[in-house]
């Protein structure tokens, strides 16, 4: 029996930039929930590499074939945004033990703030468990190979940024 109201999940993060680890989690979420909203945290880092609009455009481009994947930016309290979107689930990815403590703390705080909102953790394919946006930026800046770790469009945008930086 299908549920009468669509089950909407929110996948929050900074996605600066989107990695194949994120893509893996979004695809898993899209298979489970009626809709998954990739919610980009606005202004967390003072100087993100990619602007909010660039990050939105990248994720929309990667998921243009997925009807039930939406992309938005949000600011303020995550639980308020989620309730406003009629979401009942928060999706988070778990890479390793190192993610666990922070994620556990956040999940319980969010439950305290909004008891009806459930946090669901998903593990990516093991080949993506070591990827983070921070590491991608670091490796790319130092000239390392990132092909296969991020969607091709992200690699293109990183190269374009590097070129404009060199010219400046
Ligand atoms: N490779 C990955 N596999 C599974 N989950 C991931 C992966 N990378 C990030 N996540 C999860 O996605 C969510 C959003 O993460 P976030 O935007 O902070 O990405 P990040 O790669 O950790 O970026 P940063 O390095 O800037 O912290 C978090 O729940 C995080 O644990
Ligand atoms: Mg992180």
Active site residue 22: yes
Measured CA to CA, the distance from residue 101 to residue 31 in angstroms comes to 27
Residue of 28, 55, 92, 95 marked catalytic: 95
Residue ranges lining ligand 1, Cβ < 6 Å: 13-16, 19, 21-22, 25, 92-93, 95, 99, 124, 128, 131-134
Q: Which residue has the higher pLDDT, 163 or 69?
A: 69
Q: What tens digit of pLDDT does each residue of 102-146 get?
A: 999 999 999 999 999 999 999 999 999 999 999 999 999 999 999
pLDDT value at 3 more than 60? no
Active site residue 46: yes
Active site residue 64: no
Please tell me the pTM assigned to this model: 0.95
Q: What tens digit of pLDDT does each residue of 17-66 get?
A: 999 999 999 999 999 999 999 999 997 667 899 999 999 999 999 999 99
Q: Are 17 and 40 in contact (CB under 8 A)?
A: no
């Amino acid at each position: 029996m299908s549920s009468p109201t669509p089950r909407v999940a929110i996948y929050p993060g900074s996605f600066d930039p989107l990695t194949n680890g994120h893509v893996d989690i979004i695809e898993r979420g899209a298979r489970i929930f009626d809709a998954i909203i990739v919610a980009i945290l606005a202004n967390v880092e003072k100087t993100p590499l990619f602007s909010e609009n660039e990050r939105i455009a990248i994720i929309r481009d990667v998921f243009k074939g997925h009807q039930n994947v939406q992309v938005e930016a949000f600011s303020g309290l995550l639980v308020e945004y989620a309730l406003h979107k009629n979401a009942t689930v928060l999706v988070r990815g778990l890479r390793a033990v190192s993610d666990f403590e922070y994620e556990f703390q956040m999940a319980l705080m969010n439950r305290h703030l909004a008891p009806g909102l459930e946090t669901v953790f998903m593990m990516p394919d093991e080949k993506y468990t070591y990827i983070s946006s921070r590491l991608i930026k670091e490796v790319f800046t130092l000239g390392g190979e990132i092909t296969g770790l991020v969607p091709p469009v992200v690699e293109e945008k990183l190269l374009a940024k590097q070129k404009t930086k060199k010219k400046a």
